[in-house]
Structure 1
Amino acid sequence: MPQAQVNGITINYQIDGEETGKGSVVLINGLADDLESWDFQVPALVEDGYRVLRFDNRGIGKSDKPAGPYSSRMLADDAKALVDLLGFTKFHLMGVSMGGMIAQEYALAYADDLASLTLGCTYGKADGFCQNMFGMWGDLAQGLGVPFVMRDVALWAFTGTFFEERPEDAAEFGEAMASLDMSLGAYLSQLAVIQKHDALDRIGNVTMPTLVLAGEEDILIPVRLSKKLQQAIPGSDWKTVPGGHACLWESPDPFNSAFIAFLNSVSS
């Protein structure tokens, strides 16, 4: 995969699809997720005529992992430097979970770059429940290691129905998350992003077409927090799809359909 030297670091990225006139989509990953986390979305986007850019955030995959802590604005600036280098303009930006927090900061700082904004399974600011959970993840990571934490995250990310009806898929996802190759320092640096992100008082300044998308049974980032975010963005759209926090993996077809329908409505 190609790599770029931007914002003082090396970022690993991948571009799929060709320019067709429908525009480009930039995808931003969640905490401890590399660019392969979009494997269930990219084929559908390319088939519908979009060119897609995805990349490893600092701290994960083949991108550099400098000392942290990181912030949502820092990672938004990384994304800005990358798209500028690659010549992406007036693109559709989608971020999920931590990626949604980064996307918020991008939209607030670089609004002129965006044709639309989609925020998936995310919040404008963590509540006490989330802060306690994230604090526990940090403690577990330092005491028992990052793979142990990711086993716990897998339980929060999927629905009970998924574990009951698709046990083989659940086991496969759990094993993949538990085998994550991420150092403790890099994990804690990314964890700081979701702990400290706070855009709720500023997000009302977002003016581009915006969709806030949530998994109907998300218990990791409760749906009420995503709804609160949507209500703070004037004129934004709201959509829920089957699944939990990892609805983009658990039920990719409804997720993709909702996302692409929004993109097409904006493009038309």
Structure 2
Amino acid sequence: MPMTKVNGVDINYELEGDGKETIVLINGLADDLTTWFGQMPDFLAAGYRVLRFDNRGIGKSGRPKGPYTTAQMAQDAKALVDSLGLKDFHLVGVSMGGMISQEYALAYQGDLRSLTLCCTYAAPGPFCSRMFKLWQDMAPVMGVPTVMRDVTLWAFTQDFFLNQEPTLKEFEAAMAAMDQPTEVYLSQLHAIQVHDTRSRLRNIKVPTLVLAGADDILIPMNLSEELHSLIPGASFATAKGGHAFLWEFPQPYNEAVLNFVGKHRR
């Protein structure tokens, strides 16, 4: 996979497809660009060129000393797309990636044709803040793979645990094999703990979709609804599944994203 240095950090990326329009994907906390395995076939088949990349602190990208912020990671994304000559694209972010995408839209919305914010929030609120503080306390003692095992319990639906045990074991094995050092995980975690765009979201004018998992218990529906209410003219939709709906139920997720993005093609 190609690598480029932006903002003093090596960023690993993959740019695929030969479509005239580009979708840029930004993944979540402790997730690398393979996050989008369930989306790539459909997005490419729909005729888009697709850019995905490892945020600073994960995958094959550099792991500079933190803590990080979502605005800082939005600057990384901007430097990457500029280095590739990409303009007038559709930005899709999931969870932490949705927070980074908010900061991107606030700073560089002239680059965007559309903005899709998935299972994310404008600010964490008391429930998520307590959950993230628990992860922060657990990671140095128990390790990042153990924290990610806990995240799995919040991310998938009960049906997944009851009826998709082979796939569940694959995810658990991947979590156990994570090589993200604790200090780097905490640097990314800090970004979602301090993220707060509530006072600025009224400045987003680009067509926006807030897409929530219908059964998300990690980022509760009220936070998605708050985010939607703060962006003028934004659309709101839900797709089947919980916080990990893009993995557990990729088809409904892909359809929701492509339906919205398709409305804003050139």
Equivalent position to 1:141, from 139, 142, 158: 139
In 1, the alpha carbon distance for the partners of 2:36 and 2:107 equals 25
1:9 aligned residue: 9
- Structure 2 CA distance for aligned equivalents of residues 125 and 178 of structure 1: 29
Structure 2 residues not aligned, in runs of 5+: none
SS state of the match for residue 264, structure 2? helix
Q: 1:70 aligns with which of 68, 71, 75?
A: 68
Residue number among 26, 29, 32 corresponding to 2:27 in the alignment: 29
Partner of 2:68, secondary structure, is coil
Q: What is the CA distance between 1:178 and its match in structure 2?
A: 2.5
- Structure 1: runs of 5 or more not aligned: none
Match of 1:115?
113
Pairing 1:197–2:202 present: no
Share of identical aligned residues, percent? Answer: 56
**Aligned-partner residue type, residue 4 of structure 1:** T
The alpha-carbon deviation at position 169 of structure 1 amounts to 1.3
Q: Distance in 2 between matches of 1:181 and 1:28?
A: 20
CA distance in 2, matches of 1:155, 1:239: 24
Post-superposition CA distance 1:86-136 (Å, at most 9, x none): 000010000000000000000000010000000000000001110000000
Counterparts of 1:92 and 1:135, CA distance in 2:
33
One-letter amino acid matched to 1:16: E
User: In the alignment, is residue 186 of structure 1 matched against residue 184 of structure 2?
Assistant: yes
Q: 1:194, CA displacement in angstroms?
A: 0.5
Q: Distance in 2 between matches of 1:41 and 1:205?
A: 29
Alignment of 1:214-253 (within 5 A): 214-253=212-251
1:51 shift after superposition: 0.2
C-alpha displacement of 1:254:
0.2
Which amino acid is the alignment partner of residue 93 of structure 1? L
TM-score, scaled to structure 1: 0.98
Pick aligned residue for 1:157 from 155, 158, 163: 155
Distance 1:175 1:200 in 2: 37
Residues matched between the structures, number: 266
**SS across alignment from 2:66:** coil
| Paired residues for 1:36-115 under 5 Å | 36-115=34-113
**2:178 and 2:35 mapped to 1: Cα distance?**
12
> Following the alignment from structure 2 to structure 1, what is the Cα–Cα distance between the partners of residues 40 and 184?
26
2:165 to 124, 147, 167: 167
- The alpha carbon displacement at 1:7 in A equals 0.9
Query: Matched residue of 2:38: which SS?
Result: coil
* Runs of at least 4 residues off by over 2 Å: none
**Hey, what's the Cα distance between the residues in 2 that align with 1:181 and 1:91?**
32
Distance in 1 between the 2:59 and 2:152 partners? Answer: 19
